[in-house]
Every structure is written in C-alpha cells, then in structure tokens.
Structure 1
C-alpha cells in the first residue's frame, strides 16, 4: 500500500495554482508546505484529505517524466468537475470524462496533462 507519492515540477508556482484548482472538486487540498528556506533549497507541497498529505510535488531537479496519478472521485459528477477545473487551470486534455469499458464496465474517468505533462486522472468506479 502506498503512503504518498511525489513528483518534481519545473515551476512551483504554476504547479501550485494548477493543483489547487484541479484537485479542489475532489476534496483534496494543501495539507503541508515545506519552503526552500526550510530545506536549504527545494520547495515541496503536500496535498491530501483528512489531515494526511499523500500527493506531493516539489522542485529540486528536472521534472519527473511519464508519471500517471489517479485520484478517486466519489461520483461521476465529481470526475466532470475535476476535468472542468483542471482544463480551466491550464491543463491539456488527455481524455475527457467518460466510461472506459476496456478497464471495466463502470470505470468513469477523465485525464488531463498538468503543466509538466504529468497524466492526472480522476476516476469513479461506482455505477451511475
């Protein structure tokens, strides 16, 4: 079982603005922030829910490539809201909301590329 995951990003402020907006419909928000001054050079931001950060990004190297992160959504409307918020925040479409029956009959997901090209998804597995 995973406890948390972290990505390296090119522009901390740009990624912070994107994830603040994109993850809000999912009920995921900043739980912890570690400044460059605290670490001696690199800034990090931890998003989560119920006081537990589980998704992190930060500076300190070249942006992580080829990463896919999927967030659970409580229902299909939340997947739709995630997609709309992520696109409005500057995300690029990588698969609009819809059924992905090749995964399973009720797999409803949406995929957006973040400012660094990470494939960020919201998915609901429940029937409509």
Structure 2
C-alpha cells in the first residue's frame, strides 16, 4: 500500500444509470484527485457517454493495471470491456448491466484483496440489475 498517496479505484456504476455522468462531473474537477493515485475503471463507450451527458470532457492517461496507476499522480483510466453498448437501455435494469457492474466491482475487489488499491469508490448501482446479473 502507498504510505503517502492512496490508490483509489473509481467505477462508473450501473451502465444504464446516472453514474457515468456523475463521475464525468467529478473527474472534471482534477483537484479532487491531486493527493491520490486514482484509477477510473470502466468501458470506453460508457466513459465517453457519461462525458457527453455531462457536457464535460476530460483527457485521462490510460493504464493497463492498478500497479501502473500507482505511477500516475492524480487520475488515470483503465479500460475494461464489461458490456456492449447495444445491450444497455438507459434507465432500465437488466442482467447485462448487472453482470457489467459485478465484473468491474469484482476486478476492483480483487485488487483491494491483493493490496493493489487502498480503496474503492463506486457510482450508483442498481441492485435489481446486479441480482439479475
């Protein structure tokens, strides 16, 4: 674990929900991450959609692992492929969205268990979708 700057995994939440937009708004305030090595974990298309919904666009350095994120000050982006865009309908629960949420959370939880991240922060989740997933 980092003694001075924690590594925080940040997820986009449920793909059909408000999480991606909320995270885009949070990420647009880089001072929020100045004292961390934070990594946004999510699908490329979902991150882009959240930014479009928020009307805010932030370029993030990409990393391939949580260990690589520890090398970046501030926020970086680790892409995953957890759900296809055509499987998601905004504001509707679904097994695909639940499986996506669970896959990203599982990846972050495994990183926490392996002491690759110090904390996990997630955007709103849909429990019914997760149950279906």
Question: Is this a same-fold pair by TM over 0.5?
Answer: no
Highest Rg: 1 or 2? 1
Between 1 and 2, higher relative CO (CA 8 Å, sep ≥ 6) is seen in 2
Q: Which has the higher helix share?
A: 2
Q: Which has the higher strand share?
A: 1
